[in-house]
Amino acid sequence: MRVVITGGSGLIGRALAAELVGAGHEVGVTSRSPASVGELPAGVEVAEWDTTSASRLAALIDGVDAVVHLTGEGIADGRWTEERKRRIRDSRVRSTSAVAEAMAACASRPGVLLQGSAIGFYGARGDEELTEESGPGEGFLADVCVAWEEAGAGVEDLGVRRVLLRTSLVLSTDGGALPKMALPFKLFAGGPVGGGSQWVPWIHEADEIGAIRFLLEEPSASGPFNLTAPEPLRNRDFSRALGGALRRPSLVPVPGPALKLLYGEMAGLLLGSQRVLPPRLVEAGYVFRHPTAAEALADLLG
């Protein structure tokens, strides 16, 4: 299978490229700055795409079998000013609209689009169990995810199989949130965040990549899939598991008001509760390599 990964120079894109190449697929990635792309597996081609030019992307994907669209500005890269919020939204919605337009322009269009999304779609919902059947929530991230998903809906009218990757917190030692979360524990200053009762959905990087490959190769898979482990934990229990993996105590709580003062609206990422489950992924036949947080964190940090 010939696959193009947009945003392929990021944490997930690089790991996915390696996984697909190892499975015998031909892989190309796009980047706004190809010269600055880090190490990729041998044979992976890098092409420049500005994330908004549909004609340029059409030339890159015409004749390929699949597109995995992962482009989007980092959500936790800085305090949510109005300008940053605009960039977060535009980087997702405008790039996805360009993907849909590019597919429509292809003479030989890809048969499948795996489109990035996030569990932010559901908003903060307390103890409510959230599945792919649950409707959208409220708040900035929920609004972004709804617009993001809608931007690519037109490809289905073209006969393209579309899969929505509603990703949760990805645990990886190569980047993302885990190294930042682990640092206070390494300094013997780690503990639950806020009240500690909020649910934390998470997924090991190996399962994030494994699930994307599974959904790419499974011809019956379409629609939304929650990419999250089957056992979400409350924050206090996740913190305890993280401390256990690092052989450190989990005794120093981080007050919610302090987080709000430090991060503003973005503190909702840490304080909001989302009890998200992956029933469609499990029913489709995907088997998690790391289903529990204690085992996942021990694998990454132990």
Q: Which residues pair with 130 in a beta bridge?
A: 276
- pLDDT confidence bin for 77, thresholds 50/70/90: confident
- pLDDT confidence bin for 269, thresholds 50/70/90: confident
Predicted confidence at residue 15, as pLDDT, reads: 94
Kindly state the percentage of the chain with pLDDT values over 90. Answer: 84
The span from the CA of 2 to the CA of 11, in Å, is 21
Predicted confidence at residue 66, as pLDDT, reads: 98
Predicted confidence at residue 268, as pLDDT, reads: 87
Q: Check pLDDT > 90 for residue 263.
A: no
Are 221 and 163 spatial neighbours (Cβ–Cβ below 8 Å)?
Answer: yes
Predicted confidence at residue 43, as pLDDT, reads: 86
Q: What is the pLDDT of residues 179-189, one digit of tens each?
A: 989 999 999 99
The span from the CA of 70 to the CA of 30, in Å, is 10
The span from the CA of 257 to the CA of 248, in Å, is 25
Mean residue pLDDT of the chain comes to 95
What is the arithmetic mean of pLDDT over 258-283?
Answer: 91
Predicted confidence at residue 302, as pLDDT, reads: 83
Comparison of pLDDT for 21 and 9, the residue scoring more: 21
SS3 state of residue 271: helix
What is the arithmetic mean of pLDDT over 101-130?
Answer: 98
Q: Poorest-confidence range of 11-15, 76-80, 233-237? A: 76-80
| Every domain of the chain and the residues it spans | 2-170+204-228+276-289
* CB count in 10 Å sphere of residue 109: 20
CA nearest to 95, candidates 120, 119, 65, 69? 69
Q: What residue ranges in 128-214 does DSSP mark as E strands? A: 129-130, 161-167, 169-171, 199-200, 202-204
pTM of the model: 0.96
Topology of domain 2-170+204-228+276-289, CATH? Rossmann fold (3.40.50)
Q: What DSSP state is assigned to residue 265?
A: G
Q: Helix, strand, coil % (nearest 5) of the chain?
A: 45, 20, 40
Are 254 and 196 spatial neighbours (Cβ–Cβ below 8 Å)?
Answer: no
Q: Check pLDDT > 80 for residue 38.
A: no
Backbone angles phi, psi at 106, to 5 degrees: -75, 140
